[in-house]
């Protein structure tokens, strides 16, 4: 469909599944694997990314006509790292324990390809409202994948969810490997495989 | 002695790709063939070492000196981008052959999280100058090792019968998981 027919809702919706940044486009893998050993960390990271994506997409879209093409990437980097610093300082001030567990992965949002990709591919070419809708969709799409990975790893790896034990030690021995690095790779691998499976079945029906 | 421990720890025990999940985009993107993996690894090692030097100096003599630590992210990422650009120009002037083999990978390295990650790790761990340099080199070497092993596996995988839904990214991630398991075996090697 031509761009003018696309509604704001469409821009929002495509980030959820069709063009999901983590599961389909494989962007922003570093953070999505590193911080997802607990669902709490996933949530914090997801919210930080939602904030930075929305804020930087909006600002990039506002200044898109003022920035000369040659320096646009550098401009985006400065804008994004400004907002990331805000998020980082916010965590440090109000949630020091979360800031400690997330460690350098919050500042590393700067090089998270999702935000850069949205700035370059979308916000630089579209008006503010559409860019914000797109950013919200991408941010939420990123967050739900992170939450799913976090939930799977926390339940299988420590038998708890949000830090509350749901599986008793006698019934289920936690798989420690799931909270360690290999578990992250395996979970995401199977998750993407599962999404591919659903997509291939859908295409088969249609 | 401590610098050697830091080097080994960054390269093997706490491998940046397999333990810290940094630099996954190039790890998945350019690990399809052995020679590209090797070139990418060498280019990255070069940049990580230089970055460790530069960011240490900036942090010590600019940010700490004038109490500007909140500007860390902004200055580090700009320093890295400028550094990569300079390296690219320098290589282009001095060695055309080297430029041909590394050239296209250099711009990609700016967005490699390893580079910014190691700068931030070196600051939070309060490494001295020499320690930072070895830490940077170790990070690059560790990335190269992971990339080369992965490219070897993926070249073999071309002949394997992978289920259709797992082809591409999923199977690569599953193999990275196995590789990470194997690298956990290095954990007992040293205690730093």
Q: Mean pLDDT, to the nearest integer, of A57-75?
A: 82
Residue A63 is predicted with a pLDDT of: 86
What percent of chain A shows pLDDT beyond 90? Answer: 1
Tokens of A103: 């460690």
Query: How many CB atoms are located within 10 Å of the residue A204 CB?
Result: 7
Residue B111 lies in a domain: yes
**B window 1-60, beta carbon within 8 A of A:** 18-25, 28
pTM for the whole structure: 0.81
Question: What is the longest distance spanned by two Cα atoms in chain B?
Answer: 59
pLDDT value at residue B141: 93
Selecting from A26, A34, A110 the residue whose C-beta is nearest the C-beta of B169 gives A26
Interaxial angle between packed helices A128-158 and A39-62, expressed in degrees from 0 to 180 and rounded to the nearest 10? 170
Residues of chain A with C-beta less than 8 angstroms from the C-beta of B180: 180-182, 185
Alpha-carbon gap, residue B186 to B5, rounded angstroms: 13
- Give the separation between CA A190 and CA A194, rounded to whole angstroms: 6
List chain A residues with CB under 8 Å of B74.
78, 81-82, 85
Local structure of residue A25 (DSSP, 8 states):
T
**Alpha-carbon distance B86 to nearest alpha carbon in chain A (angstroms):** 15
Asked whether residue A185 carries a pLDDT value surpassing 60, the answer given is: yes
Does residue B43 belong to any structural domain of this protein? yes
Surface of A (50-109) touching B: CB under 8 A:
74, 77-78, 81-82, 84-85, 88-89, 103-104, 107-108
Q: Which of residues A16 and A40 earns the better pLDDT score?
A: A40
Which structural domain range is residue B39 located in?
2-183
> How many domains does the structure of chain B reveal?
1
Q: Which whole number is the average pLDDT over A156-164?
A: 76
Confidence band of A206 (pLDDT split at 50, 70, 90) = low
pLDDT along chain B (192 residues), means of 10: 84 84 79 82 87 90 83 84 83 79 70 83 87 91 91 86 81 87 79 54
Give the pLDDT mean for A55-82.
84
Question: Tokens 């309060």 appear where?
Answer: B126
pLDDT band at A167 (very low <50, low <70, confident <90, very high): low
Taking an 8 Å cut-off on Cβ atoms, the answer to whether B173 and A192 are in contact is yes
Give chain A's count of helices (H) and strands (E): 8, 2
Separation CA A135–CA A152 (nearest Å): 26
Which of A110, A177, A186 shows the shortest C-beta gap to B77? A110
Asked if the Cβ–Cβ distance from A85 to B74 is below 8 Å, we say yes
Report pLDDT for A2. Answer: 45
**Does B148 reside within a domain?**
yes
Q: Looking at the domain assignment, is residue B159 inside a domain?
A: yes
Domain edges within chain A: 9-205
Nearest-10 crossing angle of helices B72-94, B34-58: 130
Record: contact B116-A111, CB cut-off 8 A = yes
Q: Assess whether pLDDT exceeds 50 at residue A1.
A: no
- pLDDT tens digits, one per residue of A126-149: 888 888 888 888 888 888 888 888
């Amino acid at each position: 469909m031509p761009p003018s027919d696309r509604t704001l809702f469409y821009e929002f919706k495509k980030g959820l599944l069709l063009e999901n940044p983590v599961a389909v486009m494989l962007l922003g893998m570093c953070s999505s694997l590193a911080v997802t050993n607990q669902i709490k960390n996933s949530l914090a990271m997801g919210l930080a990314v939602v904030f930075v994506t929305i804020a930087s997409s909006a600002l990039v879209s506002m200044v898109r006509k003022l920035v000369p093409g040659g320096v646009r990437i550098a401009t985006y980097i400065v804008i994004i790292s400004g907002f990331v610093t805000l998020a980082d300082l916010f965590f440090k001030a109000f949630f020091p324990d979360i800031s400690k567990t997330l460690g350098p992965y919050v500042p590393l949002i700067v090089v998270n390809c999702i935000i850069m990709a949205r700035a370059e591919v979308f916000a630089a070419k579209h008006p503010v409202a559409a860019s914000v809708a797109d950013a919200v969709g991408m941010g939420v799409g990123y967050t739900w994948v992170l939450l799913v990975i976090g939930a799977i790893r926390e339940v299988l790896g420590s038998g708890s969810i949000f830090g509350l034990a749901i599986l008793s030690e006698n019934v289920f021995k936690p798989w420690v490997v799931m909270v360690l690095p290999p578990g992250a790779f395996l979970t995401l691998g199977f998750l993407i495989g599962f999404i591919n499976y659903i997509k291939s079945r859908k295409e088969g029906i249609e | 002695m401590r610098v050697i421990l830091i080097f080994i720890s960054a390269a093997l025990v706490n491998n940046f790709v397999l333990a810290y999940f940094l630099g996954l985009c190039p790890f998945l993107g350019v690990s399809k063939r052995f020679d590209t993996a090797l070139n990418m690894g060498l280019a990255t090692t070069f940049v990580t070492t230089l970055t460790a030097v530069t960011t240490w100096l900036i942090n010590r003599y600019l940010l700490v000196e004038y109490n500007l630590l909140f500007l860390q992210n902004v200055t580090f990422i700009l320093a890295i981008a400028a550094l990569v650009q300079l390296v690219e120009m320098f290589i282009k002037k001095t060695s055309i052959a080297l430029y041909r083999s590394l050239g296209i990978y250099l711009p990609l390295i700016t967005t490699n999280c390893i580079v910014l990650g190691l700068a931030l790790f070196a600051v939070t761990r309060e490494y001295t100058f020499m320690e930072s340099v070895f830490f940077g080199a170790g990070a690059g070497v560790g990335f190269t090792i992971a990339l080369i092993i992965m490219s070897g596996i993926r070249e073999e995988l071309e002949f394997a019968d992978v289920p259709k839904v797992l082809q591409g990214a999923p199977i690569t991630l599953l193999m990275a998981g196995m590789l990470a398991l194997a690298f956990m075996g290095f954990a007992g090697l040293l205690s730093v």
